Amino acid sequence: MPKRIVFAVWGSLGDLHPYLAIAHELQARGHHCVIATTNFHRERVEAEQLEFAPMGPHLDADPVLMKKSMHLRRGPRFLLRDMVIPYTRQSFVETMKAIAGADLLVTHPIAYGAQLAAQKTEIRWASTALAPTGMFSAYEPSVRMQSPTLSKLEAAGPWLDHLLLKIARHTTNRWNAPIREVRSELGLLSKANPIFEGQFSPQLTLAMFSPLFGTAQPDWPPNTVISGFPFYNEPAAMDEGLGNFLNDGEPPVVFTLGSAASAVPRHFFDESLKAIARLQCRALLIVGSLAPNQFGSGLPRNVAAFPYAPYSELFSRAAVNVHHGGIGTTAQALRSGRPMLVAPFAFDQPDNAARAGKLGVARSLFIQHYTAARAARELEPLLRDAAYRESATKVGERIRAEDGVAKACNALERLLAGNS
């Protein structure tokens, strides 16, 4: 029997994509899906022929705000404490309107008001994690990967991550006052930290990444299903000029940043151009919000710049993909079967870079260390060493064999049927 399913998603366009992919498949199975998200994404949601419902905070893609949120150490505090958590009441009220008559609520990790709505109404509820670091396990060094110094302590056991998580819980507890206030008014008794264990549903958590990228740990929430990456293939066609450039020579090195990191990219592209000159290779810059002509008319013939390209089509045609390490971009790079250089900013990105490195398909360079000389030094083995290409090919084959969308939908339908 068809059901009404609401997805409460707050984040960048890259965050939204996997939920769009799952919603499309569920609608193909006869259900009705609603995407509750910021007004900034309304046009995209409605263009996908999905029902839109507002769920704040409703903030514009302000480059200044994006730059602050992408800082390695201060970014998470700014995003959560200053941009998201103060609007918990608004998020709760708007989610309550969206789920009226709904059969299932699926929540994004930082949709805190929606999580409170799930607890208040006792609607069937599935929480999600977009990347392994979002599971906050002490048995994988996801937390220490946020620090270039601590990430080198590979020999340290779970004790270090237990300690780091304890410190993080204590620190973030001070940010959560607006959530605790709304929770108290609603008569909810839970005292779980909403940034950590409080975000997870006891009924179902979808770990929306490949089991090749992250495996279940003893301290994961119960009723977790690893679905595989729910790939969203962008409907836009590849630009004709971009296609001509790809056809006109050897596969290029592709340099790109995701929908959030693209707000602060100029340093990345300037240094990348200098690295290209050192390596004397063909290269393609996907510059996002920067106009290609901001780089002047003097780009060498071996380099082209475009504002946008669908990664699902582009990445497999690259020699190496250089990106920021967002989980959606990393997933597409893994699926492409090509090696990658990851220049992480913050959040899950350093951990994603480390995991790709352990698979033998990537090297990494923190964005604050990203210079032409260092980038060229890291790119050299990715371009020349056959081991990286062979590993990337094998990983790509395994990722392409998975069907994350179908597995996620199957889990949601089991929950709807009363079986978590």
Give the domain CATH number at 28: 3.40.50.2000
Question: Which residue spans within 2-45 are E strands per DSSP?
Answer: 4-8, 32-37
Same domain? 386 vs 335: yes
**Residue segments in the chain with a per-residue pLDDT below the cut of 50:** none
Residues 250 and 387 in one domain: yes
Look at residue 371 in the predicted model and tell me its pLDDT. 96
* Residue 280: inside a domain: yes
Q: What is the pLDDT of residues 96-144, one digit of tens each?
A: 999 999 999 999 999 999 999 999 999 999 999 999 999 988 887 665 5
Three-state DSSP string of 20-45: HHHHHHHHHCCCEEEEEECHHHHHHH
Structure tokens, 346: 């913050």
In contact, 345 and 327? CB cutoff 8 Å: no
Give the residue numbers spanning the domain of 123.
Answer: 4-229+403-416
Q: Is residue 295 part of a domain?
A: yes
Tell me, yes or no, whether 407 and 389 share the same domain.
Answer: no
Residues 68 and 106 in one domain: yes
Do 315 and 256 meet the contact criterion of CB atoms below 8 Å apart? no
Same domain, 20 and 109: yes
User: In terms of domains, do 215 and 310 share one?
Assistant: no
Residue 235 counted as domain residue: no
In a domain, 9, yes or no: yes
Cα 265–Cα 267–Cα 273 angle in degrees, nearest 5: 105
Q: Are residues 217 and 184 in the same domain?
A: yes
Q: Which residue type occupies 6? A: V
22/108 same-domain check? yes
Co-location of 154 and 203 in the same domain: yes
Residue 92 has phi, psi (to 5 degrees) of -65, -50
Give residue 263's pLDDT: 56
Is the residue at 84 inside a domain? yes
**In the Cβ-directed half-sphere of 78, how many Cα atoms lie within 13 Å?**
14
Residue 412 within any structural domain of the chain? yes
pLDDT of residue 74: 75
pLDDT at res. 137: 87
Question: What residues are paired with 346 via a beta bridge?
Answer: none
Alpha helices per DSSP H over 177-265: 177-185, 240-247
**Is 0.85 surpassed by the pTM of this model?**
yes
Check whether residue 222 and residue 293 sit in a common domain. no
Give domain status of residue 234, yes or no: no
- Alpha-carbon distance of 239 to 234, in angstroms, equals 13
Residue 142 domain-assigned (yes or no): yes
pLDDT value for 30: 97
Looking at the structure of the chain, the number of domains it has is 2
What confidence score (pLDDT) does residue 297 get? 62
Is 112 in the same domain as 192? yes
Rounded distance, CA 87 to CA 80, Å?
Answer: 10
Residue 77 sits in the same domain as residue 219 = yes
